[in-house]
Amino acid sequence: MERCRIGKALSWFALILLVLVITGLVFVCFSPDYNLYLVKGQSMEPAINMGDAVLTGPQGGLLSTEIKPGTIVTYINGNTPVTHRVIAIEGNNLITQGDAVEDPDSKPVLTSEICGVYLLRIPYLGYFSNFMRTTVGWLVVVIAPTILLVGFLMRRVVREATSKAEGASQT
């Protein structure tokens, strides 16, 4: 009996956690001020690793702070988002540098070019995203759970139909 309660509590906890994560991701997707970037390089290790996802918010926003030396920001360099740490501010120019790189970035970044200020990282989400884009990933993450869910639902329907048929035959 106690084991059943613990199982139900864990199931509810997992469901609530999943709903919160999905709600957060939907908020990020539909909010123009918050973005999710996948990290494809190693320039910010160990703070941010390759394969992580970085959530950014607006400068001076509700969840983010003002930009100052030490703040991690994301800007667009060509067509590529770059997430680096601000090491100095010279007027409207930000001098940025990756934590794992010895030299600052070759070109200063204007404060107007900042796409967002670092809020948090989600480890390995980039690897998961890349895996989802493969045929095997799609099968493992979408198709297989769907087939399992349909199978469990069909099993329940058959059990209920069988128990009703047995109940009807006994009367």
Distance CA 88, CA 21 (A): 35
Q: Report whether 97 contacts 106 (CB < 8 A).
A: no
Task: Give the CATH number of domain 33-124; options: 3.30.43.10, 3.40.50.1000, 3.40.50.2300, 2.10.109.10.
Answer: 2.10.109.10
Domain ranges for the chain, please list them.
1-30, 33-124
> For residue range 94-153, what is the model confidence (pLDDT) as tens digits?
999 999 999 999 999 998 899 999 999 989 888 887 888 889 988 888 888 899 999 999
Under the banding of pLDDT at 50, 70 and 90, the label for residue 64 is low
